[in-house]
Amino acid sequence: MTIQQNRLSDPAVRAFVAAVNSHDRDAFLSLLTPDATMADDGSDRDLTEWIDREIFSSNGHMDVENESNDGRALVAQYRNDTWGEMRTRWQFDVDEDGRISRFETGQA
């Protein structure tokens, strides 16, 4: 069972999922603070390099299964052309302006 992206609770997270699924890199980057950071499986990564490799050059797509923490924590089936499909967790820090300052992902 998946949650339709337009029903996700947090507006920044909803826009993040929409940008990933529509492969809109510019919209994705506009959601982030200028100093945004990210981690994958507990290790900090270079954000620009990671999103290009794991999302935009490999046709990344998220099907959200559930959300918690007021919509700032997700469990999703994530797939891309490199790794196929896997169950993943996502955690977002959103600043007072509604922009994402950090996200963390990894296998669920």
- Cα-based distances in Å from 57 to 11, 19, 23, 93, 97: 25, 14, 9, 25, 29
Looking at residue 34, its pLDDT comes to 97
CB of 44 closer than 8 Å to CB of 105? no
- The reported pLDDT for the residue numbered 1 is 79
pLDDT in tens, the chain (108 residues): 799 999 999 999 999 999 999 999 999 999 999 999 999 999 999 999 999 999 999 999 999 999 999 999 999 999 999 999 999 999 999 999 999 999 999 999
The CATH number that applies at residue 26 is 3.10.450.50
β-partners of residue 62 are 78
DSSP-assigned states of every residue in 17-74: HHHHHTT-HHHHHHTEEEEEEEEETTEEE-HHHHHIIIIITTT-EEEEEEEEGGGTEE
Q: How many separate domains does the chain show?
A: 1
Other beta carbons within 10 Å of 108: 14
- The residue range of the domain holding 58 is 5-107
